[in-house]
Amino acid sequence: MLVLLMWGRWRYDLVSFAALIASVVLGVVPADRAFSGFANDATVIVVLVLVVSFGLTRSGAIELVTRRLISTPKSVPVHLGLLGGIAAVLSAFMNNVAALALTMPVDIQAAQKAGRSPSLTLMPLAAATILGGLVTLIGTPANILIASYREQASGRAFAMFDYAPVGLTVALVGLSFIALIGWRIIPMRDHGNAMAELAAMENYVSELVVKAKSKAVGRRIADLDAVAEENDAQILGLVRKARRLPGRARTEEIVSGDLLVVEGSPEALNSLAAALGLSFQGKSGQKAHLDASQGFIEAVVSRESRLIGRSANEVQMLRGYGVSLLGISRRGKTLRERVRRTALQAGDVLLLLGATDSMEEVLTRLDCLPLAHTPTLTRYDKALLAIGLFAGAIALSVSGLLPLTIGLSLVVIAFVLADIVPIREIYEAIEWPIIILLGALIPMGEALESSGGTMLIANGIAQATQSLPAWVALTAMLVVTMLLSDILNNAATAVIAAPIAYGLANAMGVNPDAFLMAVAIGASCAFLTPIGHQNSLLIMGPGGYQFSDYWKFGLPLELLTVAVAVPAILIFWPL
């Protein structure tokens, strides 16, 4: 199984599941234990964390914070200190892939504003999300698996913040390194692809409804320019009583019911609406009804489309399907007419808002071609509720009032009831290959231990290091785990290495918790290759990196991790 996982010809979930079935057929794993891994708390926690992370992402709270912090260009060390720190904190409490997904667009936009290549900061940012996962139980699947193994072996699992003393020490030193030194040793790569992608983003002219409680009420357009610029948008004018006001609109006091004419990308329009308390327009001049099932879609009007020559107000089908036309982009031209009254032309790019499950049918009937699906509408109005629910579950778990599995389950149910996560998207938020991998490997790890396999390996390592101090064996275990994680999934590495580390500690007569902590650090800190961690792979394209770039940055970081982690483990988990 290890050879096939390293080879990479077949995906890891297929390899692990096939190995599990083969183990059952060969009698290594008892048939009644074959699927016990899917009922294991570790697997359940990973599933719940993925869904909760998805909900936190859709609430938009983190995006608002990060965008505010990079509103003005900063030096690379300051930028990495701020954004890398936020990414690390996020990664400690949510899936680290989700943490990177939230912060990577912010990093690329900051690079664009500062006129620098995103290759300088994307790799350090990915490393920051990996380091942040070391701090808590739910920071990474590897920590969850190691805690589960400890409970199986000794009767007591690691608690939420048991990883913090060592993990936080390593994370702080690692973040300081990547902010001050690490980014300087990354080879400069062509950033044309990332920048071209940003430059190609369509800007739409849209009309946003001013609500009674909007922050725009009583102010002038000129007063809102700074907020608009901060959110990468531009306010072009004002519509009142179905008429677009002339040039004096910039000095006119805004009142409830007005429409602000705004230009920007879908993300910019969404962000500005949240910042000023504005609403998207549904029927002409009225607020659009928003719920968790809605999302943006960008579509181009084809030459055969029935929309040509007609305005949105004249197309009954849009209203019939509950679809709103939010904006129009016409080959970079700024529209001077009302958005919903503008006669559409072939080649116009439309920004639509509506139920995602009906969009495809609408576009087919209108002869429009989908360009890009923007992720489901971010619910900025639910941000504080989402954070509060999650924080409450963590507090209940840390206090011992509820098991973590039950606390996170309550959060998922609350997210659905509060319309933060649509029920139909729950299963889409789960990375099923990871779940199959965990469910298959857990019973195999148990079989490896119950058959005496892990003790055989551990005794071999103990004999090889018997004449050396115990900390040398601890260091060796950390390094071997780290190297294994550079070519394997970190969850697979944890399942394989944890029993060996525990057996090695018992064979040497020292504290097994110290060796499990070494496995926790080593399994997550995979910086040498792009395949060691999914976050390292995600930034390869946008950063324009080559395979060799990773070890140039990752080798010093891994050596530093070993140098910091071993003394920290010896202090906080004495042998």
Tokens standing for 163?
A: 């990883």
Are residues 318 and 169 both part of a single domain? no
Is 305 a member of any domain?
yes
Are residues 388 and 415 both part of a single domain? yes
> From the CB of residue 471, how many other CB atoms can be counted at a distance below 10 Å?
15
Are residues 551 and 426 both part of a single domain? yes
Is 555 a member of any domain?
yes
Give the pLDDT confidence score for residue 191 in this predicted structure: 47
User: What pLDDT band is residue 200 in, cutting at 50, 70 and 90?
Assistant: very low
Give the pLDDT confidence score for residue 194 in this predicted structure: 42
- What is the average per-residue pLDDT within 44-56? 82
pLDDT above 50 for 415: yes
Give the pLDDT confidence score for residue 495 in this predicted structure: 85
pTM of the model: 0.64
Tokens standing for 247?
A: 């040039």
User: What pLDDT band is residue 413 in, cutting at 50, 70 and 90?
Assistant: very high
User: What pLDDT band is residue 288 in, cutting at 50, 70 and 90?
Assistant: low
Are residues 318 and 438 both part of a single domain? no
Is 235 a member of any domain?
no
pLDDT above 60 for 114: yes
Give the pLDDT confidence score for residue 197 in this predicted structure: 41
User: What pLDDT band is residue 130 in, cutting at 50, 70 and 90?
Assistant: very high
Give the pLDDT confidence score for residue 134 in this predicted structure: 93
Give the β-pairing of 243-244 and 234-240.
Answer: antiparallel
- What is the average per-residue pLDDT within 55-84? 75
Contact 297, 369 (CB under 8 A): no
Give the pLDDT confidence score for residue 61 in this predicted structure: 63
Are residues 179 and 318 both part of a single domain? no
Determine which helix (DSSP H) or strand (DSSP E) holds 207, and give its type and residue range: strand 204-210
Are residues 150 and 63 both part of a single domain? yes
- Identify the domain boundary among 359, 374, 389: 374
Give the pLDDT confidence score for residue 557 in this predicted structure: 95
**212 burial class (0-12, 13-18, 19+ CB within 10 angstroms)?**
exposed
pLDDT above 70 for 414: yes
Are residues 347 and 405 both part of a single domain? no
CA distance 420 to 81: 30
Question: Regarding predicted confidence, which is higher, 1 or 91?
Answer: 91
Q: Rounded to whole angstroms, what are the CA distances from 351 to 281, 354, 370, 386, 558?
A: 12, 10, 10, 27, 45
- What is the average per-residue pLDDT within 536-541? 72
**Summary mean pLDDT of the chain:** 81
Where do we find the tokens 């698996």?
A: 145
DSSP E strands in 338-486: the ranges are: 349-355, 368-376
Are residues 429 and 365 both part of a single domain? no
User: What pLDDT band is residue 412 in, cutting at 50, 70 and 90?
Assistant: very high
Q: The domain that contains 317 carries what CATH number?
A: 3.30.70
Are residues 403 and 536 both part of a single domain? yes
- What is the average per-residue pLDDT within 185-201? 53
Residue pLDDT, tens place only, 299-335: 777 666 778 888 766 666 566 666 777 778 775 555 6
pLDDT above 80 for 482: yes
Q: Which residues contact 23 (CB under 8 A, 6 or more apart)?
A: 29, 443, 444, 447
pLDDT above 90 for 24: yes
User: What pLDDT band is residue 195 in, cutting at 50, 70 and 90?
Assistant: very low
- The boundaries of the domain holding residue 70 are 53-201+381-450+531-575
Is 231 a member of any domain?
no
Give the pLDDT confidence score for residue 311 in this predicted structure: 78
pLDDT above 90 for 511: yes
Is 278 a member of any domain?
no
Is 513 a member of any domain?
no
Return the bridge partners of 330, or none. Answer: 333
Residue pLDDT, tens place only, 374-391: 545 666 778 888 888 988
Measured distance between the N- and C-terminal CA atoms of the chain, rounded to whole angstroms: 33
pLDDT above 60 for 201: no
Is 88 a member of any domain?
yes
Q: Which residues contact 166 (CB under 8 A, 6 or more apart)?
A: 134, 517, 520, 521, 565, 568, 569, 572, 573
Are residues 385 and 344 both part of a single domain? no
- Identify the domain boundary among 347, 374, 401: 374
* DSSP 8-state code for residue 313: G
Residue pLDDT, tens place only, 241-264: 777 776 556 778 888 888 888 888
**213 burial class (0-12, 13-18, 19+ CB within 10 angstroms)?**
exposed
Are residues 367 and 405 both part of a single domain? no
User: What pLDDT band is residue 170 in, cutting at 50, 70 and 90?
Assistant: very high
Is 468 a member of any domain?
no
Residue pLDDT, tens place only, 465-477: 777 888 999 999 9
Are residues 197 and 160 both part of a single domain? yes
Give the pLDDT confidence score for residue 427 in this predicted structure: 84
- Of the candidate ranges 98-112, 162-176, 206-220, 264-278, the one whose mean pLDDT is the lowest: 98-112
State the SS3 of 255-306. CCCCEEEEEECHHHHHHHHHHHCEEEECCCCCECCCCCCEEEEEEEECCCCC
- What is the average per-residue pLDDT within 417-445? 82
User: How many domains, in total, are found in the chain?
Assistant: 2
